[in-house]
Amino acid sequence: MRGAFLLVGLLFAGSVAAQDWQAVERVEPYTVQGSTGLEIYQSIGARGPKLGLGRVIAHTGFKLTWTRKYERQGDACVITVNKPKLIITYTLPKLKSKLSEPLKSRWDTFITGVTAHEKVHGDFIKEMVRQIETVSVGLTVENDPNCKQIRSQLQTKLGELSNAQRARSRDFDQVELTDGGNVHQLILQLVDPR
């Protein structure tokens, strides 16, 4: 369930004014089925998105590209334009089976909770992109008339922000997935509602 970080590259543009941006968020469903909570959960285990060596219930991934303009100002290099294009993809289970009560209500609670969990990962990603904007716009490196040092400095900052976002997502998952955590409780209520 960890959010994935995918930095697809830097696009260098001519004169592009800084503008507000909106992340594009989309859902990529995968089909599951079953007539009991356990069968549905087993279907999730068999069909869920692969992450590492196993499968997970849901996943948040993203593609991030930038339009950046590096300008020489005297002997310095300055980032004058830094506009992101962010696409967040939530991979979530979609139930094919028709359910009757009370299983239908348990499924609805489960998928609502899992979706809310993934949206938190999406929020972490959006916050990281805003942080990248904050450290990038106006970044100036003196004695860099060919704009080479600034790129290296920017990559260092991007790496730090990316690592912080991944750690934050891991910490969130650890709380949510451990015994008694929110997602753990959602699974238990789906499979064995006692």
Residue 57 gets the label, from left (phi > 0), alpha (psi -120 to 50) or beta, of: alpha
Per-residue pLDDT tens for 48-95? 999 888 899 999 999 999 999 999 999 999 999 989 999 999 999 999
CA 138 to chain centre: 26
Q: Is 1 within the bounds of a domain?
A: no
Instruction: Provide the domain count of the chain.
Output: 1
Q: Are strands 76-95 and 59-73 parallel, antiparallel or unpaired?
A: antiparallel
Q: What is the pLDDT of residue 20?
A: 81
Q: Is 26 within the bounds of a domain?
A: yes
Q: Is 106 within the bounds of a domain?
A: yes
Q: Is 152 within the bounds of a domain?
A: yes
Q: Mean pLDDT for the chain? A: 87
Q: Is 134 within the bounds of a domain?
A: yes
Per-residue pLDDT tens for 104-158? 999 999 999 999 999 999 999 999 999 999 999 889 999 998 999 999 999 999 9
Q: Is 2 within the bounds of a domain?
A: no
With contact defined as beta carbons under 8 Å apart, do 31 and 88 qualify?
no
Per-residue pLDDT tens for 5-38? 333 222 333 333 345 889 999 999 999 999 999 9
**For residue 51, what are its two tokens?**
């992450």
Name residues whose C-beta falls within 8 Å of residue 37's C-beta, 6 or more positions apart in sequence.
103, 106, 107, 190, 191, 192, 193
Per-residue pLDDT tens for 183-193? 999 999 999 87
Q: 24 lies in which domain range?
A: 7-191
